[in-house]
Amino acid sequence: MREILYLEVPTPDTDAVCTWLQHNFEPSVGKVLPTPDGIRIQLDHPSGSPHDPKTADQLPRELSVVTWSLQRTTYLKVFRWGNGRFPGEQATLRRLTQHLRQRFPNQYPAPPVLDLSQQSIFDALAPYYPETVRQFKKMPNGDYDLRRVYWWEQRWREGVRQPTQPKPVVVSQSGTAPTVAATYDIIYVGGALGVLHAAVMARLGYRVLLLERLPFGRMNREWNISREEFESLLDLGLFTPQDFESLIAREYVNGFHKFFDANNPPQAKAPVLQTPTVLNIALNSDKLLALCGEKLRAAGGEIWDETEFQQATVYTDQVIVQARHLPSKGDRQAAGRLLVDAMGTASPIAWQLNGGRSFDSVCPTVGAVISGGFEPGVWDEQYGDVLNSHGDISRGRQLIWELFPGEGDDLTFYLFHYHQVHPDNPGSLLEMYEDFFTILPEYRRCDLDQLVWKKPTFGYIPGYFSLTGSDRHVAFDRLVAIGDAASLQSPLVFTGFGSLVRNLARLTHLLDTALRHDLLTRPYLDQIRAYQSNVAVTWIFSKGMMVPTGRSLQPQTINAMLNTFFGVLAAEPPEVANRFIKDRASWWDFNRMALRAAWKNPALLGWIWQLAGPADMTRWLWSYLTFTLGALWGWLFQGLPAFSQWIQPWLEPRFPSLWFWLLSRYYALSYGIGRPVASFRLPQPPAAIATPVPK
């Protein structure tokens, strides 16, 4: 018996596929005989039965079509009995594939438009997402959180489907700004990643205001990091070592990366990649945000929570922000020297700055924190699953799991996929949640009714395919974007939090210099970015993990690519994988691993070409050229850090704009190629500020 066809049929209704095969499919040759999970295609006058005790050469020529269900989709394989070809075999396979595609096409359902003034979110969504509603009803604040999921998806879809007509929320006005009672140096919009940076700047003596749409401290994601990466926050003086230890929910022993490879060719199978110092510290995100808020307030900053950004008007000397206090429906106004956009993927500012092209890709991500209910032995809480798949492509997506131990018995689960931003298929959080609750027992053995849900975790994590360090706008006069609003994350690992933390010293020093010398026009602020050419070049890999809208691929394609590359990483010394996943891979690391992957699995190049196409491959060559030139300049100007430190006392007071340019080049040739160096010493806060750790 030999496998001759493997397909994914994008429907969760496997019985419907079986019924269609048994009653509607007409092969080119032979007759259809039903089986419990498919059909047999047999010649009209078989010479024998496959159950007769004969050798393979004596078996009758027959095809067996088998279906099964996994990950809320249907898979199908065709096997040939014996060694001889079935008459009209290729024509039959083509006919089967074509008719299946016509009968069960790719579908990208959108959530219904709801009027929640007439019914609850549970009643409104139950006909469409029954398992999601059933499980959210068990969660604390489930009604509120499901509304948030629905709101987030609707807002994301609106932005994707109308990319050429972004709502103008930033306007310019000539002259000086009118007098406003609430006046600050910096206004941050967005209280998750924004509060980290806001607290740092407030401790440097700046008057800071933070606007947050939600009640401050609420998070729909958890954060993981390593000790090495968190050091940058200690170096900036935001936290003490004691603070850091108090924020650790769990530090686990090792993390695993493994992708499903049962259907892969031998060269695309791989061992488990172990990364004991990658994302191995689970932070208590609520406690982290609360502590940052305390430090911000203790340094004189203010937080306006439950306040939604409406519009920013940029004048010559200030920017005035219009906002609305949601509980009271009252308008609020504040003025500042600088506005920082930290609103994340749904930021209307980011959409406007880039003419609707804010992102090239996205990871729709859903999950939950579960505080109990798993049987003993299902998972050892000393370990994490950094990246894992338990099946092949499912309804146009390669689903990938993450599992991180948390505080006490908590386990944090994420389910996500790399996704092409497309107006016909923006990516659905609600569809993903229906998958999450349905297939979680396939990933980790459990009884959903026994699980204790603590809170959901969800969001859209964006990716931008940079060609150079200046092809994306992250600034306007008196306005700059950070975090996910600037799409500053690894295109492969996808984490705005990690990227911001790794580059926080760089961003803080540049922003502090711009504020001190009033270099707050677009040309200067556009240089305050966490762009890394060694990270930007990896977007071709994430492109290769997206199923284009309307296309059907061999189900095992993406798992085969992932296993090829991670198999190469597993064969490298541990520090190489550590550098790569922490955005520190050098030019030599990247090229050596790319060549080894191509040598190990030559089909990889064809798969990437098939998914990316000639236009994107040409774009990527520019990214690679930028990376190569950056690495070359970094090698030629290795003495720039020492020279910059030496010349700063003379150059900065006399020629501040020239100093700012030199400083940005200094960081571009170090941080920008994945080779961070010691930052310049920033001005210290006026006085040590002791902040109690929230309990």
pLDDT in tens, 127-177: 999 999 999 999 999 999 999 999 999 988 887 877 656 678 999 999 899
pLDDT tier, 670 (very low <50, low <70, confident <90, very high otherwise): confident
pLDDT of residue 255: 93
Residue pointed to by tokens 């929910």: 249
Distances (CA, A) of 370 to 9, 373, 407, 458: 32, 8, 10, 14
DSSP SS3 for 199: helix
CA–CA distance, 443 with 426 (Å, rounded to integer): 26
Length of the chain: 695
Cβ atoms of 39 and 66 within 8 Å: the answer is no
CA–CA distance, 117 with 133 (Å, rounded to integer): 18
pLDDT of residue 693: 39
CA–CA distance, 230 with 281 (Å, rounded to integer): 10
Can you read off the two tokens belonging to residue 527? 């240089």
- Considering only CA atoms, which of 386, 670, 676, 342 is closest in space to residue 502? 676
The predicted model gives 9-34 an average pLDDT of 94
Cβ atoms of 496 and 483 within 8 Å: the answer is yes
**For the segment 92-135, what is each residue's pLDDT rounded down to a tens digit?**
999 999 999 999 999 999 999 998 888 999 999 999 999 999 99
Q: HSE of 265 in the Cβ direction (CA atoms, 13 Å)?
A: 10
Distances (CA, A) of 226 to 222, 483, 494, 569: 14, 18, 15, 19
Cβ atoms of 339 and 184 within 8 Å: the answer is no
Can you read off the two tokens belonging to residue 270? 């791989």
Cβ atoms of 332 and 324 within 8 Å: the answer is yes
CA 392 distance to own-chain centroid: 19
pLDDT of residue 244: 93
CA–CA distance, 617 with 606 (Å, rounded to integer): 12
Q: Is the pLDDT of residue 691 over 50?
A: no
pLDDT tier, 694 (very low <50, low <70, confident <90, very high otherwise): very low
Residue that wins the pLDDT comparison between 641 and 561: 561
pLDDT tier, 687 (very low <50, low <70, confident <90, very high otherwise): very low
Percent of residues, the chain, with pLDDT higher than 90: 56
Q: Is the pLDDT of residue 345 over 50?
A: yes
In the chain, domain spans:
2-103
pLDDT tier, 609 (very low <50, low <70, confident <90, very high otherwise): confident
Phi-psi region of 363 (alpha: psi -120 to 50; beta: other; left: phi over 0): beta
Q: Is the pLDDT of residue 489 over 60?
A: no
Residue pointed to by tokens 């006909």: 127
Give counts: helices (H), strands (E), the chain: 21, 25
* Class at the top of the CATH hierarchy for domain 2-103: alpha beta
pLDDT of residue 491: 47
Q: Is the pLDDT of residue 333 over 70?
A: yes
Cβ atoms of 522 and 448 within 8 Å: the answer is no
Radius of gyration of the chain (CA): 27
CA–CA distance, 663 with 659 (Å, rounded to integer): 6
pLDDT tier, 494 (very low <50, low <70, confident <90, very high otherwise): very low
DSSP SS3 for 89: helix
CA–CA distance, 534 with 527 (Å, rounded to integer): 17
pLDDT of residue 692: 40
Residue that wins the pLDDT comparison between 677 and 365: 365
Least confident of 180-189, 525-534, 590-599, 652-661: 525-534
Can you read off the two tokens belonging to residue 431? 């569809």
Angle made by CA atoms 653, 185, 173, in degrees to the nearest 5: 100
CA 689 distance to own-chain centroid: 35
pLDDT tier, 358 (very low <50, low <70, confident <90, very high otherwise): low
pLDDT of residue 393: 97
Q: Is the pLDDT of residue 332 over 80?
A: yes
pLDDT of residue 43: 83
Q: Share the mean pLDDT of the chain.
A: 87
Cβ atoms of 341 and 401 within 8 Å: the answer is no
Least confident of 20-24, 139-143, 393-397, 486-490: 486-490
Q: Please give the DSSP secondary-structure letter assigned to residue 182.
A: S
pLDDT of residue 579: 84
Cα-Cα-Cα-Cα torsion 383, 387, 388, 391, nearest 10 degrees, comes to 170
Instruction: DSSP for 37-81, please give it.
Output: TEEEEE-SS-SS-TTSS--GGGSPPEEEEEEEEETTEEEEEEEE-
Other CB atoms within 10 Å distance of the CB of residue 569: 20
**For the segment 38-90, what is each residue's pLDDT rounded down to a tens digit?**
999 988 755 544 445 555 455 567 899 999 999 999 999 999 987 778 888 89
The predicted model gives 554-570 an average pLDDT of 93
CA–CA distance, 483 with 410 (Å, rounded to integer): 27
The predicted model gives 384-404 an average pLDDT of 95
Residue that wins the pLDDT comparison between 611 and 94: 94
- Considering only CA atoms, which of 663, 650, 520 is closest in space to residue 206? 520
The predicted model gives 193-218 an average pLDDT of 91
Report the b/e string of 375-411 with b at 16+ CB within 10 A.
eeeebebebbbbbbbbbbbbbbbbbbbbbbbbbeebb
